[in-house]
Every structure is written in C-alpha cells, then in structure tokens.
Amino acid sequence: MKIRPLHDRVIVKRVEAERTTASGIVIPDSAGEKPDQGEILAVGNGKVLEDGKVRALEVKVGDRVLFGKYAGQTVKVDGQELLVMREEDIMGVVEA
Amino acid sequence: MKIRPLHDRVIVKRVEAERTTASGIVIPDSAGEKPDQGEILAVGNGKVLEDGKVRALEVKVGDRVLFGKYAGQTVKVDGQELLVMREEDIMGVVEA
Amino acid sequence: MKIRPLHDRVIVKRVEAERTTASGIVIPDSAGEKPDQGEILAVGNGKVLEDGKVRALEVKVGDRVLFGKYAGQTVKVDGQELLVMREEDIMGVVEA
Amino acid sequence: MKIRPLHDRVIVKRVEAERTTASGIVIPDSAGEKPDQGEILAVGNGKVLEDGKVRALEVKVGDRVLFGKYAGQTVKVDGQELLVMREEDIMGVVEA
Amino acid sequence: MKIRPLHDRVIVKRVEAERTTASGIVIPDSAGEKPDQGEILAVGNGKVLEDGKVRALEVKVGDRVLFGKYAGQTVKVDGQELLVMREEDIMGVVEA
Amino acid sequence: MKIRPLHDRVIVKRVEAERTTASGIVIPDSAGEKPDQGEILAVGNGKVLEDGKVRALEVKVGDRVLFGKYAGQTVKVDGQELLVMREEDIMGVVEA
Amino acid sequence: MKIRPLHDRVIVKRVEAERTTASGIVIPDSAGEKPDQGEILAVGNGKVLEDGKVRALEVKVGDRVLFGKYAGQTVKVDGQELLVMREEDIMGVVEA
C-alpha cells in the first residue's frame, strides 16, 4: 500500500541515524529531537501554476533532503511513519 | 439525493475501519479521533483559474484519499455524514 | 421589489424545512440553528477576472445550494429574510 | 460643489425612509441604526486592472444600492452627509 | 526647495479653512481635528504595474482632493507642513 | 570597501544637518530623532517583476531622498553608518 | 558531503572575523552577536516564476553578502555551521 502525493507534494521518510554522525548534516537541536533529513519516496505530478500548466518538481524519488523541523504532516503507512510535505518546504538536497 | 460540488470541491465519505488495521495508513491520533482517510463520491468541474479557464481536478470519483484532520465541512446526506472539501486539502491518493 | 446582485454575488432564500427530514441534507447543528441550505433567487453577471473579463457563475436561479453557516449577509426584502453571498461561499448544488 | 470619486469609488446618499416601510428592503438592526441602502450620486472612471486598463463600473448614477453597515467613509458636502465607498462594497442593486 | 514624489505618490497641502464653511465638504470630526481635504502640489510619474509598465495618475497638480484622516506621512518643506500619500489614499476630487 | 545592493534595494547615507535648517525639509520629530533624509550612495540593478524581467530603479546615485523613520536596515561600512532600504520605502526626491 | 539548495535558496557560511575590524562592514549589535555577513557556498537553480520559468539568481558562489540577523535556517555540515536562506534575504554584496 502506498500514497501518491498530489501536485507539489512529496512523501518523505525521515532518516534518523545521521544525527549522531560527526560528518553528517544535522539540524542542531537541543533535546534529542528528530533530525530534519529524509529520503523522498514519492513525488506529485508537479505544481499547478496560475495559468493551469503543471511544473514538474525539482526533487525526485531517492533524493536525500533537508527540511524544517515542523514541515509537513505525519502519516503512518504499513506501520511506518512518513511525512507528506510540499516541495516548497524542502531546503536542499544532500549530495554525498 | 446527492450534492454536486462546485469548482474545485469534492465530496468525501470518511473510511473509519482502516484505523485499527496494522497495515493500513493511519493519521496518528491520541484520542480515538476519526482517521483522515476517505473515498471520493463526487468532484466539481474544476478549479477556476485567474484567466477564467477551468482546470479539471486530479482526483476522481472512487479515489481513496488522505486529508488533514480538520479539512472540509461536514454535511449529512440521507442520514450519512459526508465531507465537502477542496482538492487543495487532499494530501494524496492511497494506492492498494 | 427585488435585488440584482453585483458580480459574483447571488441572492439566496433559506430553506428551513429540510432540517427535520431524515433523508434530507442537513448541516449538523447543536442548538436548533438554521440549516445552511437554500434556493437561489438571483445571480450576478459573473466574477470580474484580473484581466477585466467577466466569468458567468456556475449556479443559476432555482438551484438548491449548500453553504457555510456564516456565509453571506442577511437582508429583508418585502418582509422576507434573504441572504446575499458570493458564489465562492457555496459548497455545492443539491440534486434531487 | 461636488465630489468626483476616483477609480472604483462611488458617492452614495443614504436613504433613510425605507427602514420603517413594511415592504422595503431593510438590513436588520437592533438599535435604530441607519439602513444600509442608498442612491448613487457619482461614480469613478472604473477599476484599474493589473495590466493598467480601466474597467467601467457596473453601477451608475441613480441606482438604488445595498451595502454593508460599515461600508465606506462618511463625508459632508454642502451640509449633507454622504458616503464614499468602492463598488466592491455594494452587494446589489434594488430594482422597483 | 521641493519634493518630487516617486511612483504613485503625491504631495498634498492641507486646506484648513473649509472646515468651518457651512457649504464646504468636511470630514466629520469630533474634536477640532484637521479636515481631510487638500490641494495637490506634485504628483509622481505613475504607478508601476506588475508587468513593469507605468500608469499615469488620475489626479493632477492643483486638484482639490479628499482623503482619509490618517492618510499619508507628514513632512515639513520650507517650514510648511505637507503630506506625502499614494493616489490610492485619495477618495475623490472636489469640483467647485 | 562598499556594498552593491541587490534588486530594488539602495544604500542611503543619512543627512543630519538639515534638521535644524529653517528652510529644509524635516520629518517632524518630538525627541531629537534623526531626520529621515539622505543621499543615495548605491542602487541595485532593479526590481524583479513577476515575469522575471527587471525594472530599473527611478532613483539614482546622488539623489537626496525622503524616507520613513523606520525604513531600511542599518549597516556600518568603514566606520560609517549607512541604511539599506528598498526603493519602495522612498517617498520622494528632494529637489533644490 | 554538501547541500544543493533548491530554487532561490543559497548556502551561506558566516564570516565572523570582520566584526572587530574597524574598516569592515558590521551590522551593529549590542551583545556580541554574530555579524550578519557571510560567503556564499552554493546557489539554487533560480526562482520559479509564476509562469513556471526559472530566473537565475543574482548572487554567485564566492560572493561576500550581507543579510538580516535572523535570516535563514542553520544547518551543520561536516561539523560546520551553515545557513540556508533565500536570495530575497540578502541585502547586498560586499565589494572589496
């Protein structure tokens, strides 16, 4: 079972392990909160522009992304906690 | 008796059973609240764009959809509680 | 005496009786408030778009419509209480 | 002495008498406030659109109009209290 | 020394005397405040539209105008108190 | 060392002396605050319009300008306190 | 490991040393706060315009820039604290 996000939304799976890696990218937190990094599992068809055209998203499935701590909404799929957010909420793509 | 939604609105019937299914998609809740998942019963003609054109909706009748807990407005049709919401309020389509 | 609504406004006459009908469409209320359903008595020429063109409304005189509890403004015409609202405030058309 | 309203503004003279007429259109009020009905004395050249064009107003001098209780600003011209408001604030035209 | 207003701004000199004239146009005030009427001393080149074009103002130097009590900002030029406001803040032009 | 402002921003150096000049333009202040007048030291390339084009600014280096008391942000360049503001914040150009 | 910023975002590394240099550009602060100056390490592809086109950024990698004290979001990359901000948040480019 999976979710097909609409328009400019993406499905993101948080990546937890990186937070304790010295060389990793970590959003500073002061109380053991979840790091704001994840992997994109699904992307929508694109953002609907004012003239009705659709613009494909810049991120793609598999991208490792950074996002704000409160970005998106949490959903559980097959017991796994995922995030649904807009591409707008993604700050950047982490490149290895 | 049925409702024909206007423009970019859709009529959604909540699906309650999924909340207790281990493999289902469930919006986490802490107090037995209704799951935010449903089936689309009717869709409007489309969103009216700024230049007056109409863009058909991306969801269709029969789609199983995810939406925010407070999305839409509740109406009762023939004793059945339904939701009227905008396509914008729908986060994604659940695919089996 | 009657009112010709401007632009994308419509004149709506509330329909009260449906609220106690088991098979009717009723906006749930907890204190005997008026149901948010009505019949359209008059429609404006259409919504003025940003480029100055006018887009005809999707609803027409005689349509039975659903609307939010606080939609529109109340006016009395010949002793009869009516509502002036925008098409935007109408959620859908009730079809028999 | 008179005022030429700019753009999409109109000059309205309130019509007080209708409030006590059984068959008149009256905005319900609870404390003897002024009725929100009036006659248009002057209209601006039209609304300036985003592309710089001007769209003529839909109301004209002599129209009897309905408007919200707090619409417009009050001015006194030759001892007479008038209202300056935007066409947007007018809900409809009263037709005899 | 004078000020050339930018874009859709105008320089206005308040006209105080009219407030006590029975036949004049006076914004009602309750505490001897300044009347909101004035003469235009200078106008900007015009409003910059979204596509970068410039639309000339509808008011011109010498016009007697009405404006809201708190419109504009006060500046002193050669000891004289003037107002800088946008054409948008002007409600209408007073014609003799 | 100097700053090249981006887009529709300008660098302004306050002119303090004018505040005590009887014939100068002075923003009235009640507590010896700095006058809101200055000289433009640098201008950006222009405002980016919605369609991506760039519109050159109307002010130029050397212009004496008027601006609101709280316009812009203060920066120190080589020990000198300057302001970075948008052309939009400038009310007018002072002409001798 | 590095971050590729999306759209009109840039990655900025703060430059701390300048704050104590007499001839440097320093945002005045009253409590030893970090100076709001930095070097651009990476830029996005450009701002997505309303018609779906993309406009390249005006700043480039290596630019020394000024920005507001609270601009952007902090991220740690390989133990180094960086900022992700929008070009809009950058006030100007410092030229030597």
Does G73 have pLDDT greater than 90?
A: no
Residue A26's pLDDT band (cuts 50, 70, 90):
low
Query: Mapped to the 3 state alphabet, what secondary structure does C20-56 carry?
Result: HCCCCCECCCCCCCCCCEEEEEEECCCEECCCCCEEC
Nearest chain A Cα to B25, which residue? A77
Rounded to a whole number of angstroms, the CA Rg of chain D reads 14
Q: Please list, in sequence order, all residues whose beta carbon lies within 8 angstroms of the beta carbon of residue D13, skipping any fewer than 6 positions away.
A: D38, D39, D41, D80, D82, D83
- What's the domain range around E78? 9-17+27-94
* Residue F84 confidence (pLDDT) above 90: yes
Q: Is residue B64 part of a domain?
A: yes
Pairing relation of β-strands C80-86 and C73-77? antiparallel
Identity of the highest mean pLDDT range in F16-20, F36-40, F47-51, G25-29? F36-40
B47-50 contacts: CB < 8 A, separation 24 or more? B47/A48, B47/B7, B47/B8, B47/B87, B48/B7, B48/B8, B48/C47, B48/C55, B49/A50, B49/A51, B49/A52, B50/A50, B50/A51, B50/C49, B50/C50
> Are chains D and G touching, using the cut-off of 8 Å on CB pairs and a minimum of 3 such pairs?
no
In a domain, B22, yes or no: no
Query: Cβ(G71)–Cβ(G91) under 8 Å?
Result: no
CA distance A15 to A94: 12
Could you tell me if E23 lies within 8 Å of chain F, comparing CB atoms? no
Q: Supply B37's token pair.
A: 């998942």
pLDDT greater than 80 at residue A14: yes
Q: Is residue A37 part of a domain?
A: yes
Radius of gyration of chain F (CA): 14
Q: Do B93 and A6 touch (CB under 8 A)?
A: yes
Please check whether residue F72 touches G, CB under 8 A.
no
Number of structural domains, chain B?
1
Q: How many residue pairs from chains B and C have C-beta atoms closer than 8 A? A: 71
Distance, CA of B28 to CA of B45 (rounded, Å): 32
Q: Which of these ranges, A77-81, C6-10, E82-86, F43-47, has the smallest mean pLDDT?
A: A77-81
pLDDT grade, residue B39 (50/70/90)?
very high
What pLDDT was estimated at residue E16?
67
Judge contact between G64 and G72, C-beta under 8 A: no
Give residue-wise pLDDT tens across range C48-94: 887 778 889 999 999 999 998 788 888 877 778 899 999 989 999 99
CA separation, residue F40 to residues B2, E10, E11, F55, F83 (Å): 65, 21, 21, 18, 9
Using DSSP's 3-state secondary structure scheme, residue D67 falls into strand
Q: Which residue in chain A is spatially nearest to G9 when comparing CA positions? A: A91
Phi–psi pair at G88, nearest 5 degrees: -55, -30
Which residues does chain B have within 8 Å of residue A3's beta carbon, measured at their own beta carbons? Answer: 25, 66, 91-95
| pLDDT tens string F17-33 | 444 444 555 555 444 44
Confidence label for G20 from pLDDT (cuts 50, 70 and 90): very low
The pLDDT assigned to F15 comes to 87
What are phi and psi for residue D65, nearest 5 degrees?
Answer: -125, 155
- Using pLDDT thresholds of 50, 70 and 90, give the confidence band for residue E30: very low
Closest CA to C81 of D92, D19, D27: D27
In this predicted model, what pLDDT tens digit does every residue of G42-63 receive, in sequence order?
Answer: 999 998 887 788 899 999 999 9
| A84–B96 CB contact, under 8 Å | no
What is residue A18's three-state secondary structure?
helix
Model pLDDT for residues A61-87, shown as the tens digit of each residue: 999 999 987 888 888 777 788 999 999
Pairwise CA distance, residues A9 & C36, whole Å: 33
| Residue G11 host element (H or E) | strand G9-14
Kind of pairing between the strands at A37-43 and A64-67: antiparallel
Nearest CA in chain C to D37: C75
Question: CATH no. for residue B69?
Answer: 2.30.33.40
| B32 located within any domain | yes
d(CA G83, CA G15): 11
Residues E81, E83, E88: CA angle, nearest 5 degrees: 170
Tell me the pLDDT of chain A averaged across its residues.
81
| Beta carbons of E75 and F26 less than 8 Å apart | yes
DSSP letters for B44-60: -S-EEPTTS-EE--S--
B chain contacts of residue C67, beta-carbon cutoff 8 Å: none
Residue A4 lies in a domain: no
Chains C and B touch (3+ CB pairs under 8 A): yes
F30: which 2 tokens? Answer: 């009640």
In a domain, F22, yes or no: no
The pLDDT assigned to F31 comes to 40
Look at residue F38 and tell me if it is in a domain: yes
Contacts of E91 in chain D (CB under 8 A): 3, 5-6, 9, 73, 75, 84
Most confident range (mean pLDDT) of A36-40, C68-72, F61-65 is F61-65
CA–CA distance, B45 with B61 (Å, rounded to integer):
12
Q: Is residue B1 part of a domain?
A: no
Contact residues on chain F for G85, CB-CB shorter than 8 A:
none
